Structure 1
Amino acid sequence: MAVNRLDQPREIRRSIRPHYDPEAFGRLSEQIARFLGTARFLVYMTGFIAVWVLWNALAPRSLAFDPYPFIFLTLILSLQASYAAPLILLAQNRQADRDRVQSEQDRMAGERNQAEVEYLTREIAGLRLALGDLATRDYIRGELEHLLEEVRRPAAREDGAGGQKG
C-alpha cells in the first residue's frame, strides 16, 4: 500500500471519464453566451432561417433538405436552444461569482478606508487640542502689539506730563 507523501507528486490516474479544464470550459461558455446576446447573432440566425425557409419553399422537391423541412428546422432550433440555455446559465453563475468576490473586496476596501478616516479624524482632533495649548503666530503678534501699546502709553503720558511742568 502506497503512502501519500506531500513531497512527491501523485501518480497520474487513468480514468474512462474525459478530463476537461472547468476554467477553460467556463471561459468558452461565456464567449458563446456573450455572442448569443448580440445583434450579430440575431441577424445570422434570422438569415439562416430565412434561407432555410426560402430554399425549402421555393426549391424543387429533389433539392429540398427533407420531405418535412420545417420539422427538421424546428429540431435544429430546439437543439440550439437546449445548448444555449445551460451555457447562458453557466456564464451567469460565473459572473455572479465574480460579482460576489468583487463585492467582498469592495466591502473590505470600504472598511479599511473608514478605519483610516476615523484614525485621521482622531489625529486632527488631537492636533487641534495640542494647538489650542500652543501660542499661534497671530496670538503672539497680537500680544506683542498689545504690550507695545502699553509701553507707548506710559511714555506718552510721561511726555505729556513733563511738558506741562516745564
Structure 2
Amino acid sequence: MAERPSDRLNTPGRQRTWLPKVKFSEDAFGAFAEAFARFMGTARFLIWMTVFIIAWIVVNNIAPDLLNDPFPYIFLTLLLSLQASYAAPLILLAQNRQEARDRVTAEHDRQVAAQSRADMDFLAREIASLRMRMNDMPTRDFIRGELRDLVEELNREADTDAEPRRERRDKPAKRRPEQ
C-alpha cells in the first residue's frame, strides 16, 4: 500500500478547517475603523445617540407592549454595551493606524531636518571659505592706493631721469675732430 505524503510525520500538511477562510484587506478594515472612530467623535453622533435613548425610554413608557423593555431597560443596556464593546477596539485600531502614520511622518521629518542641517553646515563652510578668500582679495581702495603709489614712484623716477637730459641739452655739444 502506498503511503500518502500527509501520512508522514516529517511532511507538513495543510490544516483543513470546516470554516471558510475570510480575508479582509487590512487597509479597508482600518479605513472603516478610522471612519467609525471619526463619526463617534462628532457631536452629531452624540445627538443621535441621545435622541435614540430618549426615544427608547419614551416608547417603553408610553407603549410598553411595542418594545417590551420595562424600567431597568435591560435590552437598552445590552445594546449600549454591544455598541461600546465594538467601538473600543475600532477606536484603538484607528489610534494605532494614526500612531503608525505619525511615526512615519516623524521619521521623515527627522530625515528632512538632518538633510537641512547638513545643507546648512555645508553652506556655512562655503560662506566661511568665501569670506576668507575675500579677506585675501584686495579692495578697490587698496588697489587705488597702490596705483597712486606706483604713479608717484614713476613720476619721481621720470623726474630724476629728466634732470640729466636737461643738463645735456643745456651743455654745448662736443664736436668731434674732423678727420
User: TM-score w.r.t. structure 2 length?
Assistant: 0.68
Q: Which has the higher contact order (CA 8 A, sep 6+)?
A: 1
Q: Is the CA contact 2:60–2:70 (under 8 Å) kept in the aligned structure 1?
A: no
Separation in 2, partners of 1:150, 1:68: 118
What are the equivalent positions in structure 2 for 1:35-50 lying under 5 Å apart?
35-50=39-54
Residues 46-104 of structure 1 show CA distances to partners (whole Å, capped at 9, x for unaligned) of 00001001111122x33234457710000000000000000000000000000000000
Give the structure 1 partner of residue 128 of structure 2: 125
Alignment-mate amino acid for residue 71 of structure 1 = I
Residues 11-62 of structure 1 show CA distances to partners (whole Å, capped at 9, x for unaligned) of xxxx822011011100010000011011110001000001001111122x33
- Judged with a 3 Å threshold, the aligned counterparts in structure 2 of structure 1 residues 97 and 88 are, in CA distance, closer, same or farther, namely same
Separation in 1, partners of 2:57, 2:145: 96
Q: Identity rate of aligned residues, in percent?
A: 54
What are the equivalent positions in structure 2 for 1:1-166 lying under 5 Å apart?
16-59=20-63, 61-66=64-69, 70-141=73-144, 143-144=146-147
Q: Per the alignment, in what secondary structure is the counterpart of residue 62 of structure 1? A: helix
Larger Rg belongs to:
2
Separation in 1, partners of 2:40, 2:148: 81
Structure 1: runs of 5 or more not aligned: 2-14, 153-166
What value does the CA root-mean-square deviation take over the aligned residues?
2.5
- Judged with a 3 Å threshold, the aligned counterparts in structure 2 of structure 1 residues 142 and 25 are, in CA distance, closer, same or farther, namely farther
User: TM-score w.r.t. structure 1 length?
Assistant: 0.73
Aligned residues: 138
Alignment-mate amino acid for residue 51 of structure 1 = A
Separation in 1, partners of 2:154, 2:59: 113
Q: Is the CA contact 1:55–1:64 (under 8 Å) kept in the aligned structure 2?
A: yes
Alignment-mate amino acid for residue 84 of structure 2 = A
Runs (4 or more) in structure 1 with deviation over 3 Å come to 64-69, 141-152
Separation in 2, partners of 1:142, 1:43: 86
With 111-120 and 135-144 compared, the bigger mean Cα shift is at: 135-144
Structure 2: runs of 5 or more not aligned: 6-18, 156-179
Q: Is the CA contact 1:56–1:69 (under 8 Å) kept in the aligned structure 2?
A: no
Q: CA deviation at 1:139?
A: 3.2
- Judged with a 3 Å threshold, the aligned counterparts in structure 2 of structure 1 residues 55 and 69 are, in CA distance, closer, same or farther, namely farther
